[in-house]
Amino acid sequence: MKRQLPFLLVFIFGAFMTIQYYIPHESSEFVYTFLLDWTMIIGIFALALGIWSLYQVSVEKIKHKKENWVYSYVTLFGLFIMVVLGFTFKVGDSWGLYSVFVIALMAFLYCLINASIAKSKGLWFGLSGVALVVLLGIAYFDDSWGVAFMTSEGLRNTMFTNFADFVMTPILATMFALLAFFIASAAYRAFRARNVLASLLLVSAIIVMLRFNPYMPFGLPELIAELSNWLMNVPNLAAQRAIVIGIGLGIVATSLKVILGIERGYMGKG
């Protein structure tokens, strides 16, 4: 039963979702959105598991002093401090003891991490207890800032927004920008004329690149533009459509296999 129940659930909900596609009625939409809400709820609970997994992996790295283990502290501090910043907001004109609170929070995290890896656990747990008392004390007595769990005020916390806008966003943009260099190196490898097909690819690429080169609008023969359009709209599009049709059939076949219980690999029953 333990093994059969998941397949039964997959069949029932899979079959419902298939039939639901053909039923526009409100009640069908209601059940559909209700089920989608459940995926969100499951996702939120799974996120807790994810964070626990990240914590464990990072602590393991620190424990065994693996390569670049110090960065694991950055990961954990970043993770938990940003959460706290996102739930707190300034009430008065100044932040009061907020910076002491953040430092105490970092100390608490540091002691807690060391308590789970060090041999002298008692000492670290004691220190984390002290840090926790300081944390709660500041949170209780300092009226210059507040905690908001139910409203979005924390997301307007300047410390939170500054970290997000001036640290996180530029780092992510830098990662994305690397793509430009990787495209250049990948293009170099792809366009090497090693055989007839690779040479054809090279010639096609040159034609398309010339067409879209902003510095060559004058003197570009009309033939090049027409040839480029033809390459994009005929052979390229035809190949893409062929792949899309294949993907569509593959999706239907895989969905059928999953609903009918033929494909069980996703449950580790491969």
Among 78, 3, 42, CA closest to 269: 3
| Closest distance of CB 185 from other proteins, Å | 6
Of residues 133 and 242, the one with the C-beta less far from other proteins: 242
Of residues 18 and 162, the one with the C-beta less far from other proteins: 18
Of residues 56 and 99, the one with the C-beta less far from other proteins: 56
| Closest distance of CB 57 from other proteins, Å | 5
| Closest distance of CB 33 from other proteins, Å | 11
Q: Report d(CA 86, CA 157) in Å as an integer.
A: 7
Rg of the chain over Cα atoms, rounded to whole angstroms, equals 28
For 268, the token pair is: 């580790």
Contacts of 264 (CB under 8 A, 6+ apart): 7, 270
Of residues 41 and 223, the one with the C-beta less far from other proteins: 41
| Closest distance of CB 260 from other proteins, Å | 8
Of residues 136 and 172, the one with the C-beta less far from other proteins: 172
Binding site for other proteins (CB under 8 A): 18, 21-29, 39, 42-43, 46-51, 53-54, 56-57, 60, 67-68, 151-153, 171-172, 175-176, 178-179, 182-183, 185-187, 189-190, 240, 243-247, 249-258, 262-263, 265-270
| Closest distance of CB 255 from other proteins, Å | 6
